[in-house]
Amino acid sequence: MSTAQTDPPPAKSGTPTWVKVLVPVIATGGLAVTGVVVAILVFVLTAWLNLPLPVFGFDEPPEQPIAFPHTVHAGTDVLMDINGNPRIAPDNSQLTGLGLDCTFCHRTVTTSGTAGVPPVQLCSFCHRVVGSEDRAGLAQLRDITFLEPFVDAINWQRVHRLPDSVRFVHDPHIRFLSNHPAAIGNNDAVTGLASVNPSQVCSTCHGSVATMEKVKQVEPLKMGQCVNCHRDNNAPVDCSTCHF
Ligand code: HEC
Ligand code: HEC
Ligand code: HEC
Ligand code: HEC
Ligand code: HEC
């Protein structure tokens, strides 16, 4: 009887057990650290290079309490009905947007840091008399302004919002761009002019709001974009200009 066959010496594998256990632990631990480092790098790079991170919901504007169309109020294009046909006025002409100035509603944009959204009184100034009954948004507006006169402000949801650590002020930008149309973005029609109306500069940072059924953010408005324009136009670039 051979005991050598049934009782072999313990097999000697090349790698000690503790290494087998530790290698995957170190490997995954290393991966986690690498992952965090990569995530931080991506964040910093996208912040500098103007690349929006889609995970922040950059493309999705918030739901508004009333579907307020800038097309109808600020635009000048022919308005379409829900079937995509031009809307016809009682005198048989095609209905177009009203072409109101941006500053008609965003009244503080040339004089203060915030642009401001109009009070409901401004809406009812027109909608007491204007607007067909069958428009859903107008029915909502009437509920707010006429059933409970002026008690409730409309709770508009913010579309653009910089982090709390950042300071932005509208008025110096509107002044500067009005007098330097070459620096205006998204509006080639004005770049050759000597000066323009304040409502013509907004496209630089907000795109063509007058053609938006629902406002959404179209410019990344990341630090790189702010700093590049500041550098190109001799505006201050030290951190305290924009950070508290
Ligand atoms: C009749 C009034 C009116 C006019 C005219 C008007 N707006 Fe507005 N605007 C509003 C209201 C109300 C809101 C809030 C609801 C919304 O976001 O759709 C708003 C929202 C906005 C926002 C989003 C604000 C945020 O929360 O970030 C921008 C940007 C804006 N308007 C730009 C413009 C520009 C540019 C023009 C001119 C082309 C313009 N508006 C003309 C009433 C107006
Ligand atoms: C200068 C006058 C004027 C002001 C101020 C005004 N509107 Fe209007 N609005 C109009 C006209 C004109 C129409 C088109 C009516 C129609 O389609 O029958 C309209 C249409 C609308 C519609 C229906 C859009 C559609 O096609 O479904 C809504 C909703 C609306 N306005 C909300 C508002 C709100 C909210 C405010 C205030 C921030 C406001 N409006 C301020 C004149 C005005
Ligand atoms: C240089 C870029 C720039 C220009 C030009 C600009 N905006 Fe803005 N706007 C911003 C930024 C950035 C925010 C977000 C500010 C924040 O979160 O503090 C903002 C926010 C807003 C808001 C919502 C908050 C508020 O201030 O009431 C409105 C409304 C608005 N802009 C309207 C306008 C209009 C109208 C014009 C043109 C007259 C204009 N903006 C021009 C960058 C710009
Ligand atoms: C289109 C070019 C442009 C863009 C984009 C721009 N700025 Fe400016 N900004 C200027 C100019 C030019 C001035 C100086 C205006 C003046 O006072 O003559 C200025 C001034 C400022 C000031 C006031 C500085 C002071 O005098 O105290 C602040 C704050 C500021 N910008 C923040 C921002 C932030 C934050 C962003 C990005 C969200 C931004 N800017 C995007 C051109 C721009
Ligand atoms: C012209 C305006 C401007 C100047 C100057 C500026 N920043 Fe910013 N910074 C921004 C804006 C806008 C954001 C937010 C958007 C983003 O994340 O890019 C930001 C974001 C940041 C963030 C990311 C953290 C956060 O608050 O979201 C850091 C860190 C930062 N800035 C550091 C700096 C430093 C350091 C300097 C000076 C070398 C500086 N910034 C100068 C506009 C500016």
CB 229 near ligand 4, within 6 Å: yes
**DSSP helix/strand/coil, 159:** coil
The arithmetic mean of pLDDT across residues 150-174, rounded, is: 90
Helices and strands (DSSP H and E) totals, the chain: 10, 0
Q: What is the pLDDT of residue 140?
A: 78
Nearest-CA residue for atom 17 of ligand 1: 215
| 4 pLDDT tier (thresholds 50, 70, 90) | very low
Least confident of 43-47, 78-82, 101-105, 115-119: 43-47
DSSP state, residue 156: P
CB 241 near ligand 4, within 6 Å: yes
Q: What is the pLDDT of residue 2?
A: 43
Q: Name the residue of 68, 87, 122 to mutate for ligand 2: max ligand atoms within 8 A of Cβ.
A: 68
Residue 178 near residue 154, CB atoms below 8 Å: no
Mean model confidence pLDDT for the chain: 82
Q: What is the pLDDT of residues 169-215, one digit of tens each?
A: 999 999 999 999 999 999 999 988 999 999 999 999 999 999 999 99
Q: Looking at ligand 5, which atom is closest to the CA of residue 226?
A: 1
pLDDT tops 80 at residue 118: yes
DSSP codes, 44-110: HHHHHTT---GGG-TT-PPPPSS---HHHHH--SBPB-TTSPBPB-TTSPBPB-----HHHHSTTTT
CB 138 near ligand 2, within 6 Å: yes
Q: What is the pLDDT of residue 54?
A: 44
- Closest by CA position to 177, among listed 209, 201, 208, 197: 201
CB 87 near ligand 1, within 6 Å: no
d(CA 29, CA 151): 57
pLDDT tops 60 at residue 25: no
Q: What is the pLDDT of residue 165?
A: 96
Residue 198 near residue 180, CB atoms below 8 Å: no
Q: What is the pLDDT of residue 57?
A: 45
| 89 pLDDT tier (thresholds 50, 70, 90) | confident
- For the chain, percent of residues with pLDDT exceeding 90: 53
pTM tops 0.85: yes
CB 118 near ligand 1, within 6 Å: yes
d(CA 20, CA 25): 9
Position with higher pLDDT, 223 vs 28? 223
Query: How far, in Å, is the centroid of ligand 4 from the Cα of 56?
Result: 24
d(CA 59, CA 218): 8
Residue 217 near residue 77, CB atoms below 8 Å: no
